[in-house]
Chain A
Amino acid sequence: MSAGDIGVSPGDSSFAEAGPELIQLLTPEGERVEHPDYAIDLSPEELRAIYRDLALVRRVDVEATALQRQGELGIWASLLGQEGAQVGAGWALEDQDMAFPTYREHGVAWCRKVDPLDVISLFRGCDNGSWDPLATKFNLYTVVIGVQCLHAVGYGMGIQRDGSDSAVLAFLGDGATSQGDVNESFVWASVFAAPVVFFCQNNQYAISEPIEKQSRIPLFQRARGFGFPGVRVDGNDVLAVLAVTRKALEAARTGQGPTFIEAYTYRMGAHTTSDDPSRYRLASEMEAWKLKDPIERVRAYLIRSGQADAAFFESIEAESDELAARIRKGTTEMPDPDPSSMFANVYAEQTPYLREQAEQFAAYRASFVASGDGAPLVGSEA
């Protein structure tokens, strides 16, 4: 038996076509189109603000990728190509809503007012993310695929018990939909009608594995089997994403239970800076997706509809440059963490055993300083 026998062949692009269910409000050419179920009415100011977020988020990403190349970051997971999905989702969140990201949601972090440097510090190896997840209503990044979906549902169950009117937005990738925890989170969300929206960015790949390695049906259709609605939205259309996600979050807040959103998009970059996508996908595929760029279409629409002029785009460009410079400076000047901090917060109540170990560690380190050598005597091999 081969994969062909079950009607799916790797890299079969027809399988990857979005299909008629795709919800779109702004075409790749920047043309506004209407949808019977999803309307959106944004002021020119709001549209320009969305464009600004898209542009700045991309700039953060480009700068972080460059910083990684220059050895300033250990690794970086690029969101290139997914700005529309993330900014759309970020805009749909109300202040009181809680977001549960993976490790790629830098665009949502931005919308939650998390400083990009607090995200970068994780990828630099200084900490596990230095923002306050409760204050920002943006959970810490989660690297173990899928686990956060259950946390999101539990958080939603808490909301139900508190009688509050907030909702939860759980992010996941296409690959993550295969995990047991994710499927359990669908069951729980469904059974308890939890106020959770699952926001799946189908960027067509889980590292090297194309979506057909995870599913024989379009992902959004799976939701039905779990007992809640699934929708597929053009993930590169920020307006459609915003409209669809807003509606789903509103349904969650008003007791109508979960929704699964498949944001159909494409990972334009490598999985991370450690990855080499030329080993598993064709450049032509990327060329095709370039035409569906999430930012260009907003720009085209703003220009065509006369809602932004050249001066506006220049100001955004200037702001991007400033942001990039701030990120560069903030990264290269970021202090290394104090190694003794690894002993901090392991427990709410420090154990005597660990306290003793921390003291021994401090004494051991001090012995190198005492011997006139700031660093260990013999360099550690790596």
Chain B
Amino acid sequence: MAPVTLGKAINMGLRKAMEDDPKVLLMGEDIGRLGGVFRVTDGLQKDFGEDRVIDTPLAESGILGTAVGLAMRGYRPVCEIQFDGFIFPAYNQIVTQVAKIHARSRGRMPMRIVVRVPFGGGIGAVEHHSESPEAYFSHTPGLKVVACSNPVDAYWMIQQAIRQDDPVLFFEPKRRYWEKADLDTTVEPEPLFESRLVRPGHDCTVLAYGPMVKTALQAAAAVEGEGRSLEVVDLRTLSPLDLGPVFESVRRTGRCVVVHEAPTNLGLGSEIAARITEECFYSLEAPVLRVGGYDTPYPPSKMEEDYLPDLDRILDAVDRSFTF
């Protein structure tokens, strides 16, 4: 069992999915010979050929639109969007077509499409390379949305996503691509659409997904010595949300902080706060607090550390939840 990076884990997961099912195709810009700008598809075109690992023309609407047609023929396209901010030319295809064709065809045409999206900031990039557009898709009925946070999940979740009969938006925390973990490829995975308690605690529940899971865990570790015990849940699935374990946790801790990089206004945190309030009203000691990006365009990179939630802002919110 060797340690692998998150990027490599997805690469291994894609390889396994392609070996298991000849209908799995990869499509995207620069994913073939180059192996993707993050090297996530490195070596796959060499081993599976240009018909299964397709360097597409530079057009995201084209990628998703043709994926729809391929899915109608029984293929399972896995589309790579090079960076979060470039998914929007494909937005029309995803929201008006991919999301609805199963329902419109009364189940005759399943849209077995995975859209891989490296998302989030923290890499010092220029405009449109650091965004967190997951809420737009989570808001759309017909789409399923997941986000992995670590190499082990990345390896299994990408395979599970590809096996789904529903379209899945698969968000990859790009700033964590180089994080390593031991990967045991023989352990049976847990189901895709389940959240997971990743650190037990009893004072406050911290919810996170994707890149912010690590930050939340660091926050929990930082205050451990001060006698404050944070429980951290990795949401993993954003649509559908799996909030059963979250309700259970919040009923114990009485406090909850939701963290994401995306702007807080009408972000995932807003929906989660509403659901927790509905389900756990009498257990709450404080309102559910949200920590997210500010409601501004993602700023130039010199300002991104101020924009992005970090350990301090998470702990600041935890502290505030104790003032009610």
Pairing of A with B: yes
Could you say which of B6-14, B49-57, B141-149, B158-166 contacts chain A?
Answer: B49-57
Question: In the complex, which residues of chain B have a beta carbon less than 8 angstroms from the beta carbon of A127?
Answer: 300
Contact partner of A207 (CB less than 8 A), chosen from B30, B85, B295, B316, is B30
Known: A274-B37, A346-B297. A207 touches B29 (CB 8 A): yes
Q: Are A175 and B175 in contact (CB under 8 A)?
A: no
Q: Are B310 and A376 in contact (CB under 8 A)?
A: yes
Residue ID in chain A nearest B299 by CB atoms? A342
Q: Which of B1-52 contact A (CB under 8 A)?
A: 29-30, 32-35, 37, 49-51
Q: Are A337 and B311 in contact (CB under 8 A)?
A: no
Whether a CB of chain B sits under 8 angstroms from the CB of A93 is: no
Whether a CB of chain A sits under 8 angstroms from the CB of B61 is: yes
Question: In the complex, which residues of chain B have a beta carbon less than 8 angstroms from the beta carbon of A75?
Answer: 125-126
A382 CA / B176 CA spacing, docked (Å)? 9
Q: Which of B73-106 contact A (CB under 8 A)?
A: 85-86, 88-89
Contact with A along B118-136 (1 / 0, CB 8 A): 0000101111110000000
Q: Are B126 and A122 in contact (CB under 8 A)?
A: yes
What is the minimal beta-carbon distance from B55 to any residue of chain A, in angstroms? 5
Whether a CB of chain B sits under 8 angstroms from the CB of A33 is: no
Question: Mostly helix, strand, loop or mixed at chain A's interface?
Answer: loop
Q: Which of A40-94 contact B (CB under 8 A)?
A: 74-75
Q: Are B305 and A380 in contact (CB under 8 A)?
A: yes
Q: Are A381 and B124 in contact (CB under 8 A)?
A: no
Tally of chain A residues near chain B (CB < 8 A): 52
A206 CA / B29 CA spacing, docked (Å)? 9
Q: Are B295 and A125 in contact (CB under 8 A)?
A: no
Q: Are A336 and B296 in contact (CB under 8 A)?
A: no
Whether a CB of chain A sits under 8 angstroms from the CB of B222 is: yes
Known: A180-B89, A378-B311. A337 touches B295 (CB 8 A): no
Question: In the complex, which residues of chain A have a beta carbon less than 8 angstroms from the beta carbon of B30?
Answer: 206-209
Whether a CB of chain B sits under 8 angstroms from the CB of A364 is: yes
Q: Are A279 and B312 in contact (CB under 8 A)?
A: no
Whether a CB of chain B sits under 8 angstroms from the CB of A357 is: yes
A361 CA / B26 CA spacing, docked (Å)? 43
Whether a CB of chain A sits under 8 angstroms from the CB of B218 is: yes
A3, A126, A207, A343 pick with most chain B CB within 10 angstroms: A207
Contact with A along B202-214 (1 / 0, CB 8 A): 0000000000001
Whether a CB of chain B sits under 8 angstroms from the CB of A143 is: yes
Q: Given A74-B301, A144-B88, output 6 extra A-B contacts at Cβ < 8 Å.
A: A3-B50, A143-B126, A144-B89, A342-B303, A378-B222, A380-B311
Which residues of chain B have a CB within 8 Å of any CB of chain A? Answer: 29-30, 32-35, 37, 49-51, 55-59, 61-62, 85-86, 88-89, 122, 124-129, 175, 214-215, 218, 222, 265, 294-297, 299-308, 310-313, 315-316
Q: Give 12 pairs: A residue, B residue, CB < 8 Å, sorted on A.
A: A179-B58, A206-B29, A206-B58, A207-B37, A209-B29, A209-B55, A280-B34, A342-B303, A353-B295, A361-B306, A364-B316, A381-B311
